[in-house]
Amino acid sequence: MWELSDDEWQNSVAVNLDGTFYCTRSAIPVMQQQQSGIILNIASGMGMRATPQSPGYAASKAGVINLTETVSAALARDNIRVNCITPGLVAQQPASNSTEKQQQLDRGKFITVGRLGEAWELGPLALFLCSDASSYVTGANFCIDGGGLAGGIAPTGYKPDINGVNDD
Residue 164 resides in a domain: no
- pLDDT computed for residue 165 by the predictor: 59
pTM beyond cutoff 0.75: yes
CA distance 105 to 117: 11
Residue 159 resides in a domain: no
Helix runs in 76-117, H state only: 98-108
State the number of CA atoms in the 13 A half-sphere of 14 facing the CB.
6
- pLDDT computed for residue 160 by the predictor: 56
CA distance 86 to 121: 12
Residue range(s) defining the domain that contains residue 77: 6-151
Q: What pLDDT tens digit does each residue of the chain (168 aa) get?
A: 788 999 999 999 999 999 999 999 999 999 999 999 999 999 999 999 888 889 999 999 999 999 999 999 999 999 999 999 999 999 988 899 999 999 999 988 888 899 999 999 999 999 999 999 999 999 999 999 999 888 866 554 555 566 665 555
Residues noted as catalytic = 57
Residue 65 resides in a domain: yes
Q: What's the CATH code of the domain at 92?
A: 3.40.50.720
Specify the length of the chain in residues.
Answer: 168
Residue 167 resides in a domain: no
Residue 73 resides in a domain: yes
Residue 109 resides in a domain: yes
Max CA distance (Å), the chain: 64
CA distance 89 to 122: 12
Residue 165 resides in a domain: no
The number of folded domains in the chain is: 1
- pLDDT computed for residue 166 by the predictor: 53
